[in-house]
Chain A
């Protein structure tokens, strides 16, 4: 769930490589999983991702949480949260969820008075939406497709990854900010904020996982299924 400018371009390029590389088995030791036909390729990507995240990205995110003053942290989170509220509103409309769209648009309107960096809407009790393009495709009945893992981006699927690429190309920063250094700072902060949000989940994986790759895959797929069904996924007790 981490997006950066180079990250998403990389994703687009790697999606192609993944489609080709999926045929060539590199590991061959694992049982094929229905949801993860490209597992050998994904495991290579994960092996590249792991040390990068553990040694560079995660310590930066943790330092941000530990040393940056809270008002700055929440200001940055609110700033990028407003952009996501806009996308959530758009995706709620695409799914005909008028109430949710109303909440998201209400949040945007109210947060103008917080100059984009104070989350007045949450203080006023307007629930934060979380719709995205991947969920919209899911709501329309498009299946997840094969599971994919990319360095720095993390777990995704063909469906959700397509959503991420659309999300990136429609991102306002790309069009509104012409100053390249400033734009890069914004991309960096946006990606950092996403990684910060995932820190709790990382700690959970540290404690709980036997095999991190498999644990993250199952958790990601469960979480997305849950989001597509707005918190009421059909309960499955069978093996798959």
Chain B
């Protein structure tokens, strides 16, 4: 009997533990998510020879496979558009979100190249456990210079936590586009904005 129990315990306990761990993983805390994903990405960036050689395409690929699913691009785009979001048709909204995503991915990959050799300090999350909107704070430590705070505004959805804004040193990457978007829409309508974003993403420089 005793032997049977110990066998059972050995066989079943790990299984039970794994089952218990599943929902915990599904509800990974937002600060843990930011830490895990950014460490994974930085690990690849530090060790991948192509990235080390400055291969932009490879860096973008890393971001596409590891980062993109953790961002809510539709919400980011609506935030950047402000009241103009309602003027766009669902079809336009989708195209806007796609173009805005490409622009942000490129910007982010460039920022990552600059920060590859620096430490990141992950701040303790100060939020209600039941909160559905949180702000995850991190700091990039730069030797000999002041640290750069990077905050992730995150929201809880059906597929876990997703970031909808990245605030670098107080500058929101999303709302920073609002004036530009307003201006483009004022001049050429929603389609004008889509076209200028697409042109920008095809490699055209800023005006």
Q: Do A and B form a real pair?
A: yes
Interface residues of A (CB under 8 A from B): 30-31, 33, 74, 77-78, 119, 122, 128, 130, 197, 200, 203-215, 217-219, 222-223, 225-227, 231, 233, 236-239
Q: Are A211's CB and B171's CB within 8 A? A: no
Chain A residue numbers with a CB within 8 Å of B67 are none
Q: Would B110 and A222 count as touching, CB distance under 8 A?
A: no
A30 and B183 contact, CB distance less than 8 A: yes
Question: Among B146, B149, B180, B197, which residue has its beta carbon within 8 angstroms of that of A215?
Answer: B180
Residue of B nearest to A130 (CB): B146
Question: A208 touching B170 by the CB < 8 A rule?
Answer: no
Check if B179 sits within 8 Å of A203, measured CB to CB. no
Inter-chain contact B179/A33, CB cutoff 8 Å: yes
User: How many positions in chain B have a CB within 8 Å of any CB in the partner chain?
Assistant: 35
In the assembled complex, the CB of B194 is this many whole angstroms from the nearest CB of chain A, namely 12
Q: What separation, in Å, do the CA atoms of A63 and B168 have in the docked complex?
A: 26
| Chain B residues within an 8 Å CB radius of A30 | 183
Which residues of B are found within 8 Å of A209, using beta-carbon distances?
180, 206
List A contacts of B63 (CB < 8 A): none
A219-B171 in contact given A130-B146, A204-B111 (Cβ < 8 Å): yes
Find out whether the CB atom of A239 lies under 8 angstroms from the CB atom of B178: yes
- From A207, A212, A219, A236, B207 is in contact (CB under 8 Å) with A212
User: Closest Cβ of chain A: how far from B54's Cβ, in Å?
Assistant: 13
Is B178 in contact with A218, judged by CB distance below 8 angstroms?
A: yes
Secondary structure call for the A interface: helix
Contact residue among B79, B144, B170 (Cβ-Cβ distance under 8 Å from A226): B170
Q: How many A-B residue pairs have CB under 8 A?
A: 89
Q: Report yes or no: A210 in contact with B171, Cβ–Cβ below 8 A.
A: no
Residues of B with Cβ closer than 8 Å to A?
Answer: 79, 82-83, 103, 106-107, 110-111, 114, 144-146, 149, 168-173, 175-180, 182-184, 186, 196-197, 200, 205-207
B-chain residues with CB within 8 Å of residue A236 when the two chains form the complex: 175
Chain A residues with CB below 8 A from B145, complex form: 77, 197
Instruction: Pick 9 A–B contacts, CB within 8 A, sort by A.
Output: A74-B144, A203-B110, A203-B114, A212-B207, A218-B175, A218-B177, A226-B169, A231-B170, A237-B175
Residues of B within 8 A of A215 (CB): 176-177, 180, 206
CA distance A210 to B103 in the complex (A): 10
A222 vs B170: C-alpha distance when bound (angstroms): 6
Determine whether the beta carbon of B107 is less than 8 Å from that of A212.
Answer: no
A54→B179 CA distance, assembly (Å) = 24
Q: A223 near B206 (CB under 8 angstroms)?
A: no
Are B197 and A231 in contact (CB-based, < 8 A)?
no
Minimal Cβ-Cβ distance residue in A for B168: A204
A-side contacts of B107, CB under 8 Å: 204, 207-208
Are A208 and B103 touching (Cβ within 8 A)? yes
Q: Are A218 and B179 in touch, CB under 8 angstroms?
A: yes
Alpha-carbon distance between A233 and B151 when the two chains are bound, in angstroms: 13
Q: Are A128 and B170 in contact (CB under 8 A)?
A: no
Residues A122 and B170 in contact in the complex (CB < 8 Å), given A30-B183, A210-B196: no
Chain A contacts for B169, CB-based, 8 A: 223, 226
B146 to chain A: closest residue by CB: A128
CB neighbours of A119 from chain B (8 A):
144
- Are the CB atoms of A219 and B183 closer together than 8 Å? no
Contacts of A219 in B (CB 8 A): 171, 176
Smallest Cβ-Cβ distance to B172: which chain A residue: A222
Q: Which of B144, B149, B177 has the most CB of A within 10 A?
A: B144
Contact across chains for A211 and B207 when beta carbons are under 8 A apart: yes
Docked Cα-Cα span, A33 to B180, in Å, equals: 11
Write the chain B residue with the least CB distance to A35.
B179
